[in-house]
Structure 1
Amino acid sequence: MKLFYKIIALTLLMSLFISSLSFASVPEIVAKSAILIDGNTGQILYEKDSHKEMYPASTTKILTALIILENHKLDEIVTIDKDTPFTTGSRIYVIDGEKFTVKELLYAMLLESANDAAVALAKFHSGSVEEFSKVMNFRAKEIGATNSNFVNPNGLPNKEHHSSAYDLALIGKEAMKNETFSKIVSTYKYNIKPTNKQSETRYLTSSNKFLYASGSKNKISYKGKNIDIKYDSIVGIKTGYTDLARQCFVSAIKKDGKYLIAVILKSEGKNIYVDSRTLLDYGVDNYNYVTIFKKNDILANIKVASDKEIPITSDKDINVLISKKDSNLTITKEIKLDKDIKLPYKADQVIGHVNILVATKTIASIPLIAPYEITDKPLLSDKTINLANSNNKISKTTVLFIILKVLLAIIIWRFIMTLINLIKRKFIKRN
């Protein structure tokens, strides 16, 4: 009997101890397709069918806005043509001959999700929606979004108009680099003053409720609690909805020194906020940055046919997110040169990658950029090198955390044994 009690106590103790040291499991979400990336490097932290072709709905407008911002000034004047007012869906009801600034139409498109504003900007840039779509697809390919095809600037339903969670994450990451874009998508209210055709002010409110929604009508059930949708750490970016696409959302967070972007496609109702917060919090809570290379560190020495070695260095600190559960695993780098590139290598050309691996899993890929023109053929074969970096080991904080847990376990053990002895004494007295 004594052994039996001790086994029960030990089982309870170990389950408590192990659970307190465990890390969050992979998130469960409603969305049919999703991804979570590091907003700085593009490193993937979570994905669910992220390359599957999906309807992007109004998240399309992220790319539209990026193209406009890269090519136009905010104070340029856009005159509405006779066809744009008939654009369907969400809109600000533009009028034939009405004049807006580029800035006003960008706010209308990104906050109010105005389809007519998107069409007006597309025509202003390219002359027609069809021509602007070509620009969109070209720019998407430049960004790396190769599994997308855009046929309009707003995401209205079309069987030929599709993207993927992965592609939208890349597009969102690129767009958020633009200061004006990031300012607009982090704003939840904007007013368009009366125009030459409209005597009343247009009041715009963002469709991204993470930025402002609170109170009894703006609650979500999250981790067993009823909380406000509003999430103070959110910095953007764009929602979307059509009957075919369902609820779509590209969101970004800056919290605890981390910058993450989540994409949710084909979710339902308020689940876009639950799904998005689930992914964003998963990244914030379970990953830490580790500096793999410091600025001016040599990423690789490229040996060429003339026996000359060309050092390729980092122009900035390179950090990757390491899962807390992997913090004591070996980190290695794998140098991969692009064998298809023809000589000469041009200055600033990507000639390969350094893959960062935890154990055997690649977690990040860093481009190798030629520092100047290289005319000789590289002789370096693919190789893996161990990274000598003290940051890869368990930190002192982690060790202290474990020691405290052990001490707590001992205290709980003593308490359980004392409780068992009291129960035994009462049982003996009764008999």
Structure 2
Amino acid sequence: MTIRFSTRVAVSCSVACAVGVLALAPDPAVARAGTDPGAAGPPASPPPSLYRSGTQVLPLAGAPALPQVSALSWVVADARTGEVLAGHDAHRPLPPASTLKTLFALTVLPVLPGGVEHTVTEAELTGIGDGSSRVGVAEGRTYRVADLWRGVFLNSGNDAVHVLASLNGGWRATAAQMQARAHALGALDTRVVSPDGYDAPGQVSSAYDLAVFGRAGLRNPDFARYCATVRASFPAGGWAYDIQNTNRLLTGADGVAPYPGLIGVKNGYTSNAGSTLVAAARRGGRTLVVTVMNPQAGGSRAVYEEARSLLDWGFAAAGRVTAVGSLVPARTAAAVASPPAPATAQAGPAAPPPRPTAPGGTGWPEAAVIAGAAGAGAGAVALALRLLGGRATRG
């Protein structure tokens, strides 16, 4: 069975949805209506801890000392609660390399069943960046979607990403969906340009956002299974060859000792991003997620060894540090808190609160924006179906 999606339809729907959101979102000028330009505003509150530069940690009695880490940015968080135990320049925008594939998987996995088969076309393999990692997807060959996902998670195959993105409606549509997914998760530092993580102007994420993606991925059984797979067979027509996960903390390859209890998630490297890693491990009923971005010393193994030291510290620090933030979006945390915990300068929310409507303003509440976007999207789908008129192939 070969899946055929109309790129024009997907893009049209995405654009229409975006238009719906923009049309219903409050105009900043309108939101400011009714305020006195000459009146003094409220005093500025200090930024939440994780938005400050430098290392953020609140040790209690008996807390272990943080290890020496050369990475430009890193985060240690509890995967179950979302509490951030420590971080360094956690919201610093940096190129993510292939760790951005965590967001790609979060976005596309739910809509592409693993058992579906697809025959790859030449067009689906065009535009892959020079020097990209590949798993060996070939034009004219038929693969199960599950094979392609193993190519993404184990070999970090950009060729597999291109095919899956094509099945999902196209490269641009997938990037737009990933951007929306990041914002829905409260990951506001991420800008998606190339869904495979290949270096592209303006494409950034942060240690905080990557930790959000890793935590969310572990809650998806398919994601968790793929990212923990050490070895698999990849089809090549009438035969198959072995592929191995490039996450050395998982496999113990190339002189890096495997980390006890490691359960994934994803590593990456480009010349612009340096080495990046999202790693998760389970010990004693506790699961930690650690992100490390661009170590400045220690060579090619540094990203793994620095993640190892941060995982060790995180498990040893259990109950001995106060959280400095949370991977849970502020709006979600507020909805479940009873009563809401007061924010403090040292342990404020990890993400900025939703933009308020100024006094006297007429901004729409968030629910209205979402409803408007949904309505616009539904209208776009209906219009697209009418325009198709039986056309099932990509235009």
TM-score tier (shorter): 0.5 to 0.7
2:242 to 203, 207, 211: 203
Equivalent in the alignment of 1:64? 104
1:112 to 137, 155, 177: 155
Residues in 2 aligned to 1:151 and 1:359: alpha-carbon distance in whole angstroms: 35
1:356–1:25 Cα change, 3 Å = farther
1:230 to 252, 258, 273: 258
Equivalent in the alignment of 2:69? 29
1:47 matches 2:87: yes
Residues in 1 aligned to 2:227 and 2:159: alpha-carbon distance in whole angstroms: 18
1:178 matches 2:220: yes
CA displacement at 1:351 relative to structure 2: 7.7
Residues in 1 aligned to 2:68 and 2:105: alpha-carbon distance in whole angstroms: 32
1:350 matches 2:335: yes
1:163 matches 2:205: yes
CA displacement at 1:262 relative to structure 2: 0.3
CA displacement at 1:62 relative to structure 2: 0.8
Residues in 2 aligned to 1:159 and 1:101: alpha-carbon distance in whole angstroms: 33
Moved more, 353-362 or 139-148: 353-362
- Is this contact kept in 2: 1:56–1:240, CA < 8 A? yes
Equivalent in the alignment of 1:103? 146
Residues in 2 aligned to 1:167 and 1:189: alpha-carbon distance in whole angstroms: 28
Aligned residues: percent identity? 25
- Is this contact kept in 2: 1:263–1:276, CA < 8 A? yes
Equivalent in the alignment of 1:218? 255
CA displacement at 1:58 relative to structure 2: 0.3
Residues in 2 aligned to 1:249 and 1:281: alpha-carbon distance in whole angstroms: 16
Equivalent in the alignment of 1:282? 313
Residues in 1 aligned to 2:262 and 2:216: alpha-carbon distance in whole angstroms: 17
SS state of the match for residue 350, structure 1? Answer: helix
1:354–1:277 Cα change, 3 Å = farther
CA displacement at 1:232 relative to structure 2: 2.2
Per-residue CA deviation, residues 27-71 of structure 1 (Å, 9 max, x unaligned), is 220211111111012111111111011000000111111222211
1:93 matches 2:136: yes
1:244 matches 2:272: yes
- Is this contact kept in 2: 1:35–1:264, CA < 8 A? yes
CA displacement at 1:93 relative to structure 2: 2.5
1:362 to 334, 341, 347: 347
CA displacement at 1:167 relative to structure 2: 0.7
Equivalent in the alignment of 2:369? none
SS state of the match for residue 155, structure 2? Answer: coil
Higher relative contact order (CA 8 A, sep 6+): 2
Residues in 2 aligned to 1:112 and 1:33: alpha-carbon distance in whole angstroms: 25
Residues in 1 aligned to 2:260 and 2:337: alpha-carbon distance in whole angstroms: 39
CA displacement at 1:349 relative to structure 2: 9.3
CA displacement at 1:73 relative to structure 2: 1.2
Residues in 2 aligned to 1:48 and 1:160: alpha-carbon distance in whole angstroms: 22
1:144 to 186, 190, 208: 186
- Is this contact kept in 2: 1:355–1:364, CA < 8 A? no
1:99–1:275 Cα change, 3 Å = same
SS state of the match for residue 294, structure 2? Answer: strand
Counterpart AA for 1:122: A
CA displacement at 1:364 relative to structure 2: 7.6
SS state of the match for residue 260, structure 2? Answer: coil
1:119–1:60 Cα change, 3 Å = same
- Is this contact kept in 1: 2:124–2:166, CA < 8 A? no
1:262–1:78 Cα change, 3 Å = same
Q: TM-score, normalised by structure 1?
A: 0.60
CA displacement at 1:83 relative to structure 2: 3.2
Residues in 1 aligned to 2:348 and 2:222: alpha-carbon distance in whole angstroms: 31
- Is this contact kept in 1: 2:154–2:227, CA < 8 A? yes
Residues in 1 aligned to 2:338 and 2:191: alpha-carbon distance in whole angstroms: 27
Equivalent in the alignment of 1:384? none
CA displacement at 1:78 relative to structure 2: 2.8
Q: TM-score, normalised by structure 2?
A: 0.65
Greater percentage in strand: 1
SS state of the match for residue 26, structure 1? Answer: coil
CA displacement at 1:72 relative to structure 2: 2.1
- Is this contact kept in 1: 2:153–2:266, CA < 8 A? yes
Residues in 2 aligned to 1:114 and 1:239: alpha-carbon distance in whole angstroms: 12
Gaps of 5+ in 2: 1-60, 323-329, 351-395
- Is this contact kept in 2: 1:78–1:120, CA < 8 A? no
Counterpart AA for 1:240: G
Q: CA RMSD in A?
A: 2.8
Structure with max Cα Rg: 1
